[in-house]
Structure 1
Amino acid sequence: MTDTGAPSASGRARITIREVASAAGVSVATASKALNERGRMMPETRQRVQDAARNLGFRPNAMAKALVHKRSFTLGLLTNDTYGRFTLPVAAGLSAAMADRGVSVFLCAIDDDPERARLNLEAMEDKQVDGLVMAGKRIDRALPIQFTALHMPLVHVNAACPEGGIGFVPDDEGGAHLATAHLVALGRRRIAHVTGPGGFAAVHLREAGWRRALAEASLAPPGEALLGEWSERFGYETGQRLFAAGGEQPDAVFCGNDQIARGLIDALTLQGLRVPEDVAVVGFDNWGLFAEATRPPLTSVDMEFKALGREAGLTLLDGIDGRTVAPGIRRRPCRLVVRRSCGGET
């Protein structure tokens, strides 16, 4: 490992490995081996070199490091989620996990354009990234990419995973069960479910979680799950119909996403119903400022995309390092963030 001592971005000359070796009282060759975790030496010698490098603010030359290890210490992240609603948290978790390991992440948005996907994939291969993360917008759709000639480790996040591949997705059914069970624990007994289009696998998984939680509490659904759009408009219109009808009305609604929940709360408010006193509402996604800006703030299921990104990255590194990684889909737990829409304090 060498360094030229050229100025850094701050205008100061970079600390060289010779300065590290001098500070640690070892040869340049020994310093290089210690910083690259290579070669045999006393543990205290290796630690002394690493301490000197840290104290001096030494940053190794990336090209030299890549030559020594025969790796680029970079990962690619390709996504068709151009709005970043799902991928940005994945990228944040991935980058945080990689930063501690000296690995950089290149992010490319490809929309759903196969040609753009091909060009970005070729760019990643030209940069000789060590591995690739494919992040999508939904668990039942793959990105428009052909992987037959790809010669690097690959993981899929929040996207369909081909047979024999490695995928990470949120546990939609478990998250829905968590939300519904919470409403049951609050004493709600007529818990309706309003959700998105039936063509989404997540819709059916969330409905299954809702039904399972009700069955475990010996409660019957107050009606069929109401399927429609992932939109405030659908939530608002459904809320108007659901609570304008006569007879016994729901005392809680579990919504398939936060937009539906927010629209439904607007409909309840205009009909003079109080949230959560008359009707408790829980959403799904925990879309940050969106959920917090709802009035009252919205209790919601968080799919823990940062944790998904972190785990996907660490698994990818295992594959890059030659460790055996079992294929298959990993469904990771969701988390319920409780706010005032179902009786929380925030």
Structure 2
Amino acid sequence: MYEVSDSATSVKRRVTLDDVAKVAHVATSTASRALNRPGRINAETEALVRQVATDLGYERPENFWLRTHSVTQKIGVTIVPEKYRLLAAIQEKLYLEHYLPVLYPAVTVQALRTIKQEFNNVDGLIIDNPQIPGRVRLEIPSTQPLVVTNCLIDEATCVVPDTEQGVALMLTHLRSLRHISITYFYAKDSWLDESVLQALRSGCEQTGLTLHAVGNVGDSLESGCRAVSSWRKHLDSAVVFCGALSAIGFMQELDRSLKVAVPDDVSVVAIGDAFTGHLLQTRTTTLEVPDRKIGVEAVRQLVSQIRHRSRCENRAKLVSMRLVNGDTTGFF
């Protein structure tokens, strides 16, 4: 026998599988098998779990969502204006799927609070907010259709660049030019920057390249200029920036203050938007973050969640990167 506590029956929030398992004194995995895969556990335990679920008012997440939400044909999007290529791709794909995008402010606390309050007015949500740390637990119910495009987290389907594949391309290119050492400049509060760092460490260790990593370098012309002093400590033959603007600022400062030539004296690679790398007469070699492909895939994944909620599962979708060869890398 089991006993349902007053607190369990008076809770107004949605009853979860964890709640059922706790009251039935079984593991959550056991409760899941009892409710979703009949015949996988002994009949007595299965009957107990089903009775507890009935008494607590448990219902499948997809059924709860359908019962408590009305279809609006609107999708919430939280994104910074600077990610215009990603935003354009999301909007275009949403229009093709007959959805209207609703933009939310891209500020951590305000965005999450607004999303939590307004989610009943949209059918799903796409988040690309660089101010949201990569491991933060999103303050919205995990049963809601959700896709995240700026980091990998356990609570949602994520569409992100395949940094391991992209970094491997970049290292192959630099090694073909006989480079033996790299300085990597990155910002520590970005999932992309940290993911690239991990891939660089692994790749350099495997290929015998020397890596010097310098954190807390934002993507701006000023940050790139300041990075010159850090680079001078090791004078590595190749420099990689997680950001196109900082790469440009670095090259401008090299020419202005040190008269160091790119790529004759040092090679420079930017990770980011290849279009920004064309702002100068000298085209920057860029490991391109495929924002348009990410935007299209994010919408595809979200629409699939909305239309097939019974098959929803959190997963990571990696989008291949490409190396756009410019004029800033050469033989060492």
Structure-1-length-normalised TM-score: 0.64
Residues in 2 aligned to 1:210 and 1:203: alpha-carbon distance in whole angstroms: 10
| C-alpha displacement of 1:139 | 7.3
Q: Give the distance between the partners of 2:243 and 2:223, measured in 1 at CA.
A: 11
Equivalent residue for 2:300? 314
The answer (yes or no) to whether the contact 1:133–1:157 under 8 Å persists in 2 is: yes
Asked if the contact 1:235–1:262 (Cα under 8 Å) also holds between the matched residues in 2, the reply is: yes
1:22-171 equivalence runs, <5 A? 71-79=71-79, 81=80, 84-86=81-83, 88-114=84-110, 117-119=112-114, 121-126=116-121, 129-137=122-130, 140-141=133-134, 146-148=139-141, 152-159=144-151, 161-163=153-155, 165-171=156-162
- How many residues of Structure 1 are paired with residues of Structure 2 in the alignment? 259
Q: 1:238 to 1:151 in 2, by over 3 A?
A: closer
SS of equivalent residue, structure 1 residue 284: strand
| TM-superposed deviation, 1:199 | 4.8
The one of 177, 184, 191 equivalent to 1:194 is 184
CA distance in 1, matches of 2:289, 2:106: 23
**2:239 is aligned with 1:242:** no
* TM alignment of 1:215-254, pairs within 5 A: 215-221=205-211, 224-230=212-218, 231-243=220-232, 249-254=235-240
Aligned partners of 2:178, 2:316: CA distance in 1, in Å?
A: 35
- Counterpart CA distance in 2 for 1:303 and 1:208 is 17
Structure 1, 317-326 or 150-159: larger mean CA deviation: 150-159
- Aligned partner of 1:18 in structure 2 is none
Contact 2:108 2:129 in 1 (8 A): no
What secondary structure does 1:146 align onto?
A: coil
- 1:142–1:108 CA distance, 2 compared to 1 (3 A): farther
* Stretch of structure 1 that moved more, 134-143 or 91-100: 134-143
Choose from 252, 255, 260 the match for 1:273.
260
How far apart in 2 are the matches of 1:112 and 1:138?
A: 6
Native 8 Å contact 2:217 2:227 kept in 1: no
CA deviation profile, 1:170-229 (whole Å, cap 9, x unmatched): 233433332232121223233x223124454433322232233334433334xx322232
1: distance between equivalents of 2:183 and 2:324?
A: 18
Verify the 8 A CA contact 1:134 1:143 in the aligned structure 2: no
Corresponding residue number in structure 1 for 2:248: 262
- 1:258 and 1:213 map into 2 onto residues whose CA distance is 22
Structure 1 Cα separation of the partners of residues 244 and 317 of structure 2: 24
Identical aligned pairs, as a percentage? 19
What's the RMSD between the two structures over aligned residues?
A: 3.0
Structure 1 residue ranges, 4+ long, deviating more than 6 angstroms after superposition: none
Report the residue type matching 1:189 in the other structure. Answer: I
Shift of 1:310: 1.0
Unaligned runs of 5+ in 1: 1-69
How far 1:143 sits from its partner (Å)?
A: 7.9
Q: Give the 3 Å change call, closer, same or farther, for CA 274–97 of structure 1 in structure 2.
A: same
Q: Which runs of 5+ in 2 are unaligned?
A: 1-69
Quick one: structure 1 residues 305 and 253, their matched pair in 2 at CA, closer, same or farther if it must change by over 3 Å? same
Check 1:146–1:214 CA distance in 2 against 1; reply closer, same or farther (3 A cut).
closer
Write the distance in 2 (CA, Å) between the matches of 1:212 and 1:287.
25
SS in 2 for 1:342: coil
- For residues 186 and 207 of structure 1, do their structure 2 counterparts lie closer, same or farther at Cα, with a shift above 3 Å needed? same
